[in-house]
Chain A
């Protein structure tokens, strides 16, 4: 499955980049992720409770960052395994500075396997879109937070933020 898109964050590129290479803050924004342990150079492992409401599962995941070109590009490789299947994917993030904001272009390809794939194909595209939205919304909150501020993440909070953002965009306030 291929995903691609863009997302604009109201923060300078340097700030976004610092976030993107900080596993702890990153984990805070990945829906369902717990703490990531460093297991190698730019390589982390941890448990992620991936999924949506009714269909959630615990995955043992590994995340690896490659091809780091600060502050504009990296490749992220994700590998997760659980009882309901596995997710294996990689994607690139390209950051572009735009008048103090950052445009993120993401493109990725993921393989989803196991029971999830055999019964859930109709949901996978939608689930991916939903989770990507959740991730970026959470990320924006995290990146734009004042230093030392603890951002509360959660699906409702993030969705709320997402809607506010859309509203602002709609009325040209963004």
Chain B
């Protein structure tokens, strides 16, 4: 395939999105927009306690409220529905059972305790206030390091302690290198918990068809097919009796890449009550009870020579898992450790990951999922090496880059980097920002008492999962994606994709691929997704895989369709198929576009069957599945320039430059959009966002009153550019760009702030860089105790 690259036509151009007309006119249908006859409304009562024994739950008053149809508790559901499926499997992983509604104990604030079904959402909400629950509060395990210690309050008595897994990967070469090192730099890094906060909260509608004995579930999910398989298994229904629809989905960022309790609860209630049931999450529920991201404490050490050459790296990662295991909860830290060296040629690495249960919401994938943590580690350490040795941070990076000649590059963690040219993207970013001049300006301004900081991040990530072995073993899907291409009798093209985009724009980029390959207009292509009754099979959209995997499956299916088109045309044009090409709505002889047959005639022949072609199978349709043989490794260079107000600790952006390399770009406008959005979330983590739990496990930043999602004026104007280093892994040469911005930006911002304050002696500040923390770091440094 790699030898047959796609000829670019609309590919590489800024095609306007085909999804937009319905979205800008208010005509799109999100889950909460569904109205079904006889629909009932579900409201969920959630625990106010982080850790408590559940006593009596009195639902009698709620049941008596007019309009209330049913009230259920964990006891009512026991043995009937649940537990929540989890595909995780690691050696010696402790796997707690996650009931649909709490049984016996609650383990985080927001855990579902009871549910009300009523004839209106207002009544359902009123009824919640009438449910009385006896809690016997227990001490909560909140801090991840303390929770790992013996003597900490234990979430699961049956496990004895809170350590879910301990995965040490020792390497004698690392110890050896540290012994020989000229210098060793160390950092403790806190990756605070953040809340994904898709603008559309989660929602589920379920409709049980009594006649057909079939279930239809609309869910705001990134993985409709996976959800169908899990629902079928949970309800012991054949998959043909379960249809899952992900209608318009208002963002996911990894938080909708899961099967949640409500996705079992709502269908169960629809099945038992015989009516459609709808549940829409309120924002505070979303913040408390949709998976969180990050949540790691890392102890990192790096050995280097006096010239800045990095020789070995090791880290110990405490992963704050939260109270239950969701799909990827246990696996995220694995990505962090595998990529801890970033884009640097560090010969030896070692790590230990410790997964710890805490009385908080589960952590799971959030834009980047493990890689932002890794990039942060590598990029912060690169700056620390530079500071330790008095070198320029850029020089240290250049000294240690994996050179472009080294690809494919086998990493010490056992990965195979596909392609890269780290120097190129860095050089471009430096040029745009005017690095040398900026450094001079910085020195000048320092003399005037102004603290300007320049933060460089040359990130690297892994995406496009990928070879199936990298996904959780018990996941009911591999690392593939699928596509069907079907030409319609009138000459239009319907594409079915197993990817399930929710803002990324694949209805457009996939139409571009089809348009270029078949020579049809963009308006003649319809891309369908997100409905298991329409789309053959699929895995979903996450991990920057949509275009790389779904797009490649599409190219493969198109190849098959094209072969058939050419074969039909060859009969009609009396020319061998190899001599034919498609373009401009025609099939034509290579080199002679004037000798053309309208594609419509071929389609007519395939559907009308009147051209007298022997042995022709009617129709023009093909399906392909694509599983890559390797992952993809996008990279780039981000440079943040900030000014710190040393009197208050406030940080202001002066510039932000990003040069990203995601291989070939189908639609540069969509790529830009992904990078912009990614950077905003990365800046959000660096400067504003934190899921703050207090000592007793209360989520005190549990609403938008205190959880600071960046607003427009908080994000700087972004100066973007790109380099193009195609991957040899897939025929499109594309990598993936959904997460790149998030991964690259966080360390750039933090490095910039530390860089600004370096003369004062500040070495590290934990994220988010709230003014008080920055101010305190300055005060401490001034007092000589940084």
A and B in contact, CB less than 8 Å: yes
A residues touching B (Cβ–Cβ < 8 Å)?
Answer: 1, 83, 85-86, 88, 111-115, 117-119, 121-122
Contact with A along B625-661 (1 / 0, CB 8 A): 0000000000000000000000000000000000000
A113 with B109: in contact, given A83-B129, A85-B48, A118-B699 (CB under 8 Å)?
A: yes
Asked if A122 and B698 make an inter-chain contact with CB atoms under 8 angstroms apart, the answer reads no
Contact with A along B30-74 (1 / 0, CB 8 A): 000000000000000000111000000000000000000000000
Query: Is B284 close to A, CB under 8 A?
Result: yes
Asked if A119 and B48 make an inter-chain contact with CB atoms under 8 angstroms apart, the answer reads no
A118 with B137: in contact, given A83-B129, A86-B48, A113-B109 (CB under 8 Å)?
A: no
A111 with B706: in contact, given A83-B129, A86-B48, A118-B288 (CB under 8 Å)?
A: no
Asked if A118 and B703 make an inter-chain contact with CB atoms under 8 angstroms apart, the answer reads yes
Question: Can you list 6 A-B contacts with CB-CB less than 8 angstroms, sorted by A residue number?
Answer: A85-B48, A113-B50, A113-B696, A117-B700, A118-B288, A119-B703
How far apart sit A115 and B706, CA to CA, in the bound complex (Å)?
13
Asked if B706 and A121 make an inter-chain contact with CB atoms under 8 angstroms apart, the answer reads yes
How far apart sit A170 and B657, CA to CA, in the bound complex (Å)?
58
Which residues on B sit within 8 Å (CB–CB) of A1? 694
Tell me, rounded to whole Å, the shortest Cβ–Cβ distance linking B133 to chain A.
Answer: 9
Which residue of chain B lies nearest to A79 when distances are taken between CB atoms in the complex? B137
User: Which secondary structure dominates where chain A touches chain B?
Assistant: mixed
How far apart sit A114 and B699, CA to CA, in the bound complex (Å)?
9
Query: Is B24 close to A, CB under 8 A?
Result: no
Asked if A119 and B702 make an inter-chain contact with CB atoms under 8 angstroms apart, the answer reads yes
B residues touching A (Cβ–Cβ < 8 Å)?
Answer: 48-50, 109, 129, 137, 284, 287-288, 694-696, 698-703, 705-706
Tell me, rounded to whole Å, the shortest Cβ–Cβ distance linking B252 to chain A.
Answer: 23
Asked if B699 and A117 make an inter-chain contact with CB atoms under 8 angstroms apart, the answer reads yes
Asked if A114 and B137 make an inter-chain contact with CB atoms under 8 angstroms apart, the answer reads no
**Cβ-neighbour of A121 out of B284, B287, B696, B700 (below 8 A):** B700
How far apart sit A114 and B701, CA to CA, in the bound complex (Å)?
12
Asked if B705 and A119 make an inter-chain contact with CB atoms under 8 angstroms apart, the answer reads yes
How far apart sit A115 and B702, CA to CA, in the bound complex (Å)?
9
Which residues on B sit within 8 Å (CB–CB) of A122? 705-706
Which residue of chain A lies nearest to B109 when distances are taken between CB atoms in the complex? A113
Asked if B698 and A112 make an inter-chain contact with CB atoms under 8 angstroms apart, the answer reads yes
A117 with B702: in contact, given A83-B129, A88-B137, A111-B696 (CB under 8 Å)?
A: yes
How far apart sit A119 and B284, CA to CA, in the bound complex (Å)?
9
Asked if B705 and A117 make an inter-chain contact with CB atoms under 8 angstroms apart, the answer reads no
A118 with B696: in contact, given A83-B129, A86-B48, A113-B49 (CB under 8 Å)?
A: no
Tell me, rounded to whole Å, the shortest Cβ–Cβ distance linking B4 to chain A.
Answer: 55
Which residues on A sit within 8 Å (CB–CB) of B50? 113
**Cβ-neighbour of A114 out of B48, B129, B694, B706 (below 8 A):** B48
How far apart sit A118 and B701, CA to CA, in the bound complex (Å)?
6
Please list the 6 inter-chain residue pairs (A to B) with the smallest Cβ-Cβ separation, ordered nearest first: A118-B702, A114-B48, A117-B698, A111-B696, A121-B700, A119-B703
Which residues on B sit within 8 Å (CB–CB) of A112? 698
Which residues on B sit within 8 Å (CB–CB) of A118? 109, 284, 287-288, 698-700, 702-703
Which residues on B sit within 8 Å (CB–CB) of A117? 694, 698-700, 702
Which residues on A sit within 8 Å (CB–CB) of B695? 111
How far apart sit A121 and B704, CA to CA, in the bound complex (Å)?
12
Given contacts A115-B284, A117-B700, A121-B700, list 14 more A-B pairs with CB under 8 A: A83-B129, A86-B48, A86-B49, A111-B695, A111-B698, A113-B49, A115-B48, A117-B699, A118-B109, A118-B698, A118-B700, A118-B702, A119-B705, A119-B706
Tell me, rounded to whole Å, the shortest Cβ–Cβ distance linking A10 to chain B.
Answer: 37
Tell me, rounded to whole Å, the shortest Cβ–Cβ distance linking B52 to chain A.
Answer: 10
How far apart sit A1 and B700, CA to CA, in the bound complex (Å)?
12
Which residues on A sit within 8 Å (CB–CB) of B700? 117-118, 121
How far apart sit A83 and B284, CA to CA, in the bound complex (Å)?
16
Which residues on A sit within 8 Å (CB–CB) of B137? 88
Which residues on B sit within 8 Å (CB–CB) of A88? 137, 696
Tell me, rounded to whole Å, the shortest Cβ–Cβ distance linking B290 to chain A.
Answer: 14
Tell me, rounded to whole Å, the shortest Cβ–Cβ distance linking A136 to chain B.
Answer: 26
How far apart sit A161 and B49, CA to CA, in the bound complex (Å)?
38
